[in-house]
Chain A
Amino acid sequence: MKLSIRKREALAGFMFVAPYVFGLIAFVAGPMLFSLYASFTDYNITSQFNFIGLENYKHMFTKDQLFWTALKNTLIFVVLGVPSYRIAAITLSILLNNAIRGMRVFRTIFYLPVVMSGVASFLLWMQLFSPSSGLINTVLGWFGIQGPAWLYDPFWTKPALVIMGLWAAGGNMLLYLARLKGIPQQLYESAEIDGANVFQKLFKITLPMLTPIIFFDIITGMIGAFQVFQSAYVMTGGTSGGPMNSLLFYNYYLWNKAFQTFDMGYATAMSWFLFVIIMGATLFNLKFSNKWVYYEGADLE
């Protein structure tokens, strides 16, 4: 049987993506379907699957106080973190784009915190935030400000995490820099001929041209922020949720439910609810994007 060229190419194509498809079914789609089913049971890894319908979800919403605490903590973190990281990254990239001398050195410096990530950076910031011996309160002391107890003060724990994240704002900055380079110089030049000043150029040219990448960054940023876990886990020693549970984020609570008390059915229900929230937020952003995202024509690279 002689296959046509088309068919042979299709067959080859299938072979190339086969590993991915297998992985997709085995490690993504399959598990997701399983966990969806498990969310309607009381599975706890040793027991059988007892179908209990919407019990898990009902318990989540009506009887579980910590669930609401965790959700609230995560939402606060999203609201604090997502805009501030974006603003920092955009500001940095615009500044960097304008400083011709030493640009590469600055870029390296600002990207360095991104590389220094992981448990080591969490430990570093635990020391930086130390109320008595840390850098932050020392510097605040220079200005006569009595710094708070940061990681021991329920009010300041989340802002502390946001500040730690801002240190690594250089990560997203690269995304914007790449885009900034693609903005045609003629736009700025003709604006200058028309007498535009710095702010007008910023708000009428630079920012609108950046909106597609800002949009992408906000979505990925939100998806990431909703899943905050590692920092809180390490910085609270992996057991408690921080002072007054202020660092008990949604995924942290989920983790405890799944791997400490092994309430897996309940935990999977929580994870699906988070999925729904993230989907909802993403869709909301998509819908809303028409109002403010400006898509240039095909001639922009």
Chain B
Amino acid sequence: MSKIENYNSSNIDELFQEISSDELEKTEKRMLLAVRIDEGIKAMGWKKIDFAKALNKRPSEISKWLSGTHNFNSDTLFDIEKTLGIDLINVDTKPKQQTSVYHVFVSSKTNQDKENSCFNYIEGKPLISYNLQAFK
């Protein structure tokens, strides 16, 4: 069976020379957004017309949303999120908790007096204390 021949188009190459990586990324994200919405509609067991009714929009407007060309405003995205029960915009204001990991290396026992010991005394008897080096 004959296999398909690969073809290199100089016309396509010329257009790509005028397209930045940022533009490509923006296009990709816009299309991925459309995919998320389409999958959200399917997860509800709906067709486009059901989704349109739920949002009080015309089916033609939904088609434009899903085309991968639409530039959404935030209000529309919030409405879609709420209707489909999906996340499209993450606006969590809580700062992420930062966890620092310390590796504690115990080097040797010491016989430190009370003032220098980092450990408490219990009933007047010193605890065995250790030199500790902490590495982050």
Asked if A and B are interacting partners, one says: no
